[in-house]
């Protein structure tokens, strides 16, 4: 008998990075590996999976990943496993466009890139920085993301796979992405439609943005880019102090919001 499955794609916000650590701790072991059972129980992906009545949860989400990687991994997994399940639901937590991938002449392979991240070697770091300052363009990246959103939405609809897309900590709406409003994209037509902004709204915290993109890289040097709203969420226990990732109570709030959104959209289709 076939089982049903929720596929959770995205970056560390979906993967539940640091969810099983002390949210009040000010230091974090970068080698820490989260307990899978804890993530399944308390992550918003796991909570949504159970509330939708799905049997299993599969994480494609990976800390530090980019949207191109996530898009490809979802399609690859479904292409290879679609017939193994009675029902599939895809939850994609879209990450920042300041994460991308490119072919490197230094390593002779495709490399994941994050603005300001420390890489394997100085030569690779120099190559990535050159690419960003000479070839990376925000409008182009937004258009590319919009194309991926439309393509994956159409692919999943064609297979009859229910899904929900949601921005993680940077919000991109339909107008910015150059696409039509997609009901299966959380508040696609609205501004501040990401999970970070959701936590701010629910706690009556004004959403503020730092001048340099904050990418939640777990590095001390990035603390200078943390906005006032992120600090307030940390102080209130919604983001942990060491890594600024969602805590257990934040995952629970996000899960309830996303589940309600899914049910509302399903009712509108009936």
Query: 132 in a domain, yes or no?
Result: no
Question: Which residue segment(s) compose the domain that 87 sits in?
Answer: 3-103+137-269
Sort strands 56-59 and 3-10 into parallel, antiparallel or unpaired.
Answer: parallel
CATH number of 65's domain:
3.40.50
Give me the number of domains the chain comprises. 1
Does residue 110 sit within a domain?
no
- Which tokens hold the place of 209? 């943005």
Q: Where are the beta strands (DSSP E) in the chain?
A: 3-10, 56-59, 85-94, 99-104, 109-114, 162-167
178 occurs within a structural domain: yes
Tell me if residue 139 falls in helix, strand or coil: helix
Strand boundaries in 60-141, DSSP class E: 85-94, 99-104, 109-114
Rg over alpha carbons for the chain, rounded to the nearest Å, is 18
Cβ 164 vs Cβ 258: under 8 Å: yes
164 inside domain? yes
CA distance 124 to 213: 21
The structure's pTM equals 0.95
Give the single-character DSSP code of 192.
Answer: S
- Which helix or strand (DSSP H or E) is residue 248 part of? helix 248-269
The answer to whether position 119 is within a domain reads: no
| Nearest C-alpha neighbor of 21 from the set 10, 6, 7, 31 | 31
Tokens coding 53: 């009545």
Q: Please check whether residue 225 lies inside any domain of the structure.
A: yes
Q: Is residue 131 assigned to a domain?
A: no
Give the integer Cα–Cα distance in Å for 79 and 74: 8
User: For each of the chain's 270 residues, which pLDDT tens digit applies?
Assistant: 899 999 999 999 999 999 999 999 999 998 999 999 999 999 999 999 999 999 999 999 999 999 999 999 999 999 999 999 999 999 999 999 999 999 999 999 999 999 988 787 999 999 999 999 999 999 999 999 999 999 999 999 999 999 999 999 999 999 999 999 999 999 999 999 999 999 999 999 988 777 678 888 766 556 666 888 999 999 999 999 999 999 999 999 999 999 999 999 888 765
Calpha distance 133→170 (Å, rounded):
21
Q: Tell me, yes or no, whether 220 lies in a domain.
A: yes
């Amino acid at each position: 008998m076939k089982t049903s499955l929720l596929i959770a794609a995205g970056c560390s916000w979906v993967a539940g990075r640091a969810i099983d650590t002390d949210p009040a701790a000010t230091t974090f072991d970068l080698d820490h590996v989260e307990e899978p059972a804890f993530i399944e129980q308390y992550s918003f992906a796991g909570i949504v999976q159970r509330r939708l009545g799905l049997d299993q949860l599969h994480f494609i989400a990976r800390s530090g990943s980019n949207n191109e990687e996530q898009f490809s991994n979802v399609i690859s997994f479904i292409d290879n496993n679609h017939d193994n399940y009675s029902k599939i639901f895809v939850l994609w937590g879209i990450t920042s466009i300041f994460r991308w991938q490119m072919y490197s002449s230094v390593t002779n392979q495709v490399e994941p890139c994050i603005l300001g991240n420390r890489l394997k070697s100085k030569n690779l770091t120099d190559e990535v920085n050159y690419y960003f300052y000479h070839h990376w363009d925000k409008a182009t990246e937004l258009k590319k993301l919009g194309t991926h959103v439309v393509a994956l939405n159409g692919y999943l609809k064609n297979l009859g796979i229910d899904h929900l897309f949601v921005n993680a900590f940077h919000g991109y709406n339909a107008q910015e992405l150059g696409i039509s409003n997609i009901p299966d994209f959380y508040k696609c037509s609205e501004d501040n439609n990401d999970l970070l902004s959701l936590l701010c709204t629910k706690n009556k915290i004004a959403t503020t943005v730092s001048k340099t993109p904050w990418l939640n890289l777990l590095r001390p040097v990035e603390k200078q880019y943390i906005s006032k709203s992120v600090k307030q969420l940390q102080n209130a226990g919604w983001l942990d102090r060491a890594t600024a990732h969602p805590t257990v109570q934040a995952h629970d709030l996000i899960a309830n919001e996303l589940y309600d959104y899914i049910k509302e959209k399903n009712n509108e289709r009936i």
